[in-house]
Amino acid sequence: MPELNPQQKAAVQYINGPLLVLAGAGSGKTSVITRKIVWLIRDYGIAPRNIVAVTFTNKAAREMKARVGDLLNGAHGKELQISTFHTLGLRILRDHLEAIGYRPGFSLYDNEDSQSLLAKLLRGQYSGKNNPADAVRRQISLWKNNLVSPAEAPLTTGGESIQDIAARVYGEYERHLQAYNAMDLDDLILKPVRLFQNHPEVLEEWRRSVRYLLVDEYQDTNLCQYELVKLLAGSRGALTVVGDDDQSIYAWRGAHPENLKHLQQDYPSLKVIKLEQNYRSSGRILKAANALIANNPHIFEKALWSERDYGESLRVLKARGDEHEAERVVSELLQHKFKHNTDFRDYAILFRENHQSRVLERVLRERRIPYFLSGGSSFFDKTEIKDVMAYLRLLCNPGDDNAFLRVINTPRREIGADTIEQLSAHAGELGTSLLQASLDAGIERRLTVRQVAILRVFTHWLTDMIGKAAEEDPAKLVCDILADLHYEEWLKDTCNDLKIAQRRMENVLELVAWIQRLARQDEEDKSLSGLVARLTLAGILDRGNEENPGDLVALMTLHAVKGLEFPHVFIVGMEEGLLPHHQSQSDTGVEEERRLAYVGITRARQTLTFSFVERRKRGGEVIGCEPSRFLKELPPDDLHWEEPDREPDPQAMLGRAEVYLSNLRNTLGNG
């Protein structure tokens, strides 16, 4: 295990007050957090259950937990309170639902569920294609992140901006969530904050429980998360936060890098320790990163340095157009791989916008280069997983109409659109859920005898399962549901290919195994509702955070690559209008785009290559492009610019061919 450097050691052992660890890219911040947790347990005598560490992704939380577990030789594993902000919020709410007007077994809505509810609320005013539900959902999410209540949402009389539409529907959206016993993702932070503000006795109980609090990626916190941290830490300030204002790239979803400044104001005794030694990148890459980010204003000054070699020049490839750019980047990648006998997983191609991946994917496929596109569909996006999760949600919360509508005809039960329409109208008149309306005697006046009979077979089976859910082992309950539904046979009947049906059933069985693992891990809450809430949260938070499943080139956006590193990095589309983005032309917008470029640069360990084009297709037309201003902010002596029409060097081409053949012989020989 590597020794800590003096700054890391000081950060681990400082406990005399609130601490900010300003951790530059690649400076070993995860080591500091994990070692500090171990030090607090072993040397300072705090019980693991009284230490809370929070971060932003399940992947980061799992990695931290595993590292601490290894350092403690496997002791205290189940007691460690290391999680995401949202999982912490879920834990806080679990024992205090009644205080916020909720019942056990509430449903957690993902973005699709929230958008569906908002679309329903806006349907009378907007047609399907023009329904602004997704934009309204994003606006309400920003308000929740900024602690803005429906009563405080700004509204101009008669306005038709997204903000005005959102302000008008925000209160109704909240009332419907409460009526459905449902919360959206933002509520998992907002409702604990409101709980603590309105119930000081609950806050005091939690403060006694949390003797030390650690927060990772602090620059990415929004105002709501900041308030939660401040409430939990209280005046004692038994708090360590780790962050880097140069890597704050999520303002578009509510992050406030200014929270670092607020920390100084709220805790005048705040100690700041800077981690500036980088263990990842060559000296030349760090010099470029420092030069670029020096153009931004700073709350705290710092400069990364490394004991590693100075490294190769940073290459800048000029291409004629986007297709030429993709062909050139892929060719350079392939030549480098064969020359240095590297793996495909050693390479990442990064871009600003998702659409830039299309032409890269096509060229990679043509060259038969395996690749992994980050941000694709997750396990929880699969149809069969959504089906099973909807059944489980409904068993926990019979008022979950979204889940009811998903499963009412899965598998097919001959419950047609007319039945559902009449059922929805009846539920609206009664002010009840769809399940309750289906059990009401009045529904018989709206439906034919046959329609009622088919509907009642389903709803009576469902109510029987709801009764079983309170007593039966969750994994066994899922197996009972699948057996009653003849789900595997239904998959075989509806899939064109038997292998696809088998693969989908394997996914369902993987979900059952996941439920079993969760039930074993959680000592406090093994209930079906607790397991479903954590599974749903995992499904939401893990989207876009999938790991590279093999020896594949990584294709990902600059936002998605944060927290990762690669030996060799290509950043494509270094042009004005793309990076910095044309929608981010204000001073603060350009500063965030510069931080985004900085994040991309600091992912590279050994080599870094940029590319830009002379002309690019955008919105159906071809437009002229200018190199990004960020390229001009890099040290010119460290850049090697390469024109698109350079004359090929026959000797170099011959050398590359020899390397290619040699590697091919080795590969075939090893096979």
pLDDT for 125-167, tens place per residue?
Answer: 776 667 888 999 999 999 999 999 999 988 765 677 889 899 9
Indicate which residue of 8, 34, 87, 247 is catalytic. Answer: 247
Q: Average pLDDT in the 256-263 region?
A: 81
Distances 606 to 342, 449, 639 between C-alpha atoms, Å: 12, 73, 14
Q: Average pLDDT in the 523-549 region?
A: 72
247 included as an active-site residue:
yes
Predicted local distance difference test score (pLDDT) of residue 652: 46
Predicted local distance difference test score (pLDDT) of residue 525: 64
29 included as an active-site residue:
yes
Indicate which residue of 216, 246, 387, 638 is catalytic. Answer: 216
Quick check: 10 pLDDT over 50? yes
* CA pair distance 570, 573, nearest whole angstrom: 10
Cβ atoms of 141 and 186 within 8 Å: the answer is yes
Burial of 431 (0-12, 13-18, 19+ CB in 10 A): exposed
Predicted local distance difference test score (pLDDT) of residue 648: 43
30 included as an active-site residue:
yes
In whole numbers, what is the pLDDT of the chain averaged over residues? 87
340-358: pLDDT as tens digits:
999 999 999 999 998 899 8
Burial of 603 (0-12, 13-18, 19+ CB in 10 A): buried
Confidence band for 522, pLDDT divided at 50, 70 and 90:
low
385-430: pLDDT as tens digits:
889 989 999 998 898 888 898 888 888 888 888 888 888 888 888 8
Q: Which residues contact 381 (CB under 8 A, 6 or more apart)?
A: 539, 543
Dihedral class, residue 319 (left if φ above 0, else alpha if ψ from -120 to 50, else beta): beta
Quick check: 224 pLDDT over 70? yes
Burial of 164 (0-12, 13-18, 19+ CB in 10 A): middle
63 included as an active-site residue:
no
Predicted local distance difference test score (pLDDT) of residue 211: 93
592 included as an active-site residue:
no
Predicted local distance difference test score (pLDDT) of residue 188: 95
Quick check: 649 pLDDT over 70? no
465-516: pLDDT as tens digits:
888 887 788 888 888 999 998 989 999 888 888 888 898 899 899 888 888 8
Dihedral class, residue 246 (left if φ above 0, else alpha if ψ from -120 to 50, else beta): alpha
Indicate which residue of 7, 29, 225, 459 is catalytic. Answer: 29
* pLDDT over 70 percentage in the chain: 92
Indicate which residue of 30, 57, 277, 342 is catalytic. Answer: 30
Q: Which residues of 470-483 are buried (b: 16+ CB within 10 A; e: fewer)?
A: eeeebbebbeebbe
Confidence band for 175, pLDDT divided at 50, 70 and 90:
very high
* CA pair distance 85, 223, nearest whole angstrom: 13
Confidence band for 671, pLDDT divided at 50, 70 and 90:
very low
* CA pair distance 431, 399, nearest whole angstrom: 11
Start-to-end CA span in the chain (Å): 36
Predicted model pTM: 0.83
Distances 621 to 60, 259, 414, 535, 615 between C-alpha atoms, Å: 41, 42, 48, 44, 10
Find the radius of gyration of the CA atoms of the chain: 27
281-340: pLDDT as tens digits:
999 999 999 999 999 988 788 899 999 999 999 999 999 999 999 999 999 999 999 999
Query: How far is CA 35 from its chain centroid?
Result: 25
Query: How far is CA 281 from its chain centroid?
Result: 25
Cβ atoms of 76 and 106 within 8 Å: the answer is no
Cross-strand pairs, 570: 349, 609
84-93: pLDDT as tens digits:
999 999 999 9
Q: Average pLDDT in the 550-577 region?
A: 92
Quick check: 112 pLDDT over 90? no
Indicate which residue of 217, 245, 325, 401 is catalytic. Answer: 217
SS3 102: coil
Indicate which residue of 67, 337, 603, 616 is catalytic. Answer: 603
603 included as an active-site residue:
yes
Cβ atoms of 663 and 342 within 8 Å: the answer is no
